[in-house]
Structure formats: C-alpha cells, structure tokens
Amino acid sequence: MQDRNLRIHAPTLKWMIFLVVLACLAAWSIRGVLVRARRMSTADTSASLYESIAPGSSAKAVVRLDSVKGEELKGTLLEKQSDTVYRVPFRRTVAVIAVLTPDASVLMGKPQDIAVGAVVQLAGTIDASHILQTNQVVILTGYVRLSQKAG
C-alpha cells in the first residue's frame, strides 16, 4: 500500500475558510431576520383586554384609523382572525385614542401613510387617561385585509 499524506494546498485552505466564514455570516443574518419578523408579528388585543390595560403598561393594538388630527389618532380596534385577516367587531367598542410621541417610529410604511382608513398597529404605553402614548406605528394597509364575516 502506498502511504498517501493528506495535504491541503494554500489556495484550497483559503477557499475553505472563506466558505466557512460566509456560511456563518449567512446563518447570523438569517437569524436576525427571523428575530425581527417574530417581533413584528401583528397584535391580537381584544376590546376587553385593551380596556383593562392598567396605566403605565405597554400595549399593542391593530386599528383602522377613523380620525387623524395632527399627532392625535382615533380608531376602531380590529379583531384578529389570522395574521393577515382582521375584522371590524359587530358590537360597539371603545375607540382607541393614541398620540404620536416625538420619538415615534414608523415601520413598514411612511408617516404619510398614517391617514383616515389606514390599518395600523400602534405600540406604546397607556397613560392615566387611557390614551396610548405611541412610540411605534406599523402600517398594515396592503398587508392585512378586512373581513366582513364573523370569525
């Protein structure tokens, strides 16, 4: 039998190291995207739950905007049927009143998209007057659809 020494040539070693580093970077990037996607999942806050949130607590709500006056937003809380389908509740619910704080960021859209009829997810803190002090707005118009049937 011949004695064969396994040798790796310098160019081959460099390519192997490059491919391992590239695979690690790809795995790290994919993980980051998945973590952000999980954080951006749509809210499933019912009317009764929203009304019972204590002042100072964080809240997230998906609403259809009925009124936009400067920094003040007023909307109808929507009921989640799936990640992409919401419906307007059949029974009358308390309107969600929100104020955009100076540090509010707009994700998945532009500030101009915050208009009457838009479907948005608002996140922030409930104040003593039960107004949502919003620090994050996600524009869902075009991503979710409103259903007319009961879920």
Q: Which residue has the tokens 């920094």?
A: 71
* Distances, alpha carbon 138 to alpha carbons 50, 62, 95, 102, in Å: 18, 9, 18, 16
Please report the pLDDT score of residue 41 as a whole number: 55
Residues in the chain: 151
Please report the pLDDT score of residue 42 as a whole number: 59
Please report the pLDDT score of residue 81 as a whole number: 85
Predicted TM-score (pTM) of the model is 0.67
Q: How far apart are CA 64 and CA 53, in angstroms?
A: 20
Q: Which residue has the tokens 């101009």?
A: 112
pLDDT < 50 stretches in the chain:
151
CA nearest neighbour of 99 among 114, 79, 117: 114
Please report the pLDDT score of residue 133 as a whole number: 92
| DSSP per position, 71-108 | TEEEEEEPEEEETTEEE--SS--PPEEEEEEEEEEEES
Domains and CATH numbers, the chain: 47-147 (2.40.50.320)
**DSSP-derived secondary structure letter, 53:** P
Please report the pLDDT score of residue 111 as a whole number: 85
Please report the pLDDT score of residue 65 as a whole number: 92
Q: How far apart are CA 68 and CA 115, in angstroms?
A: 6
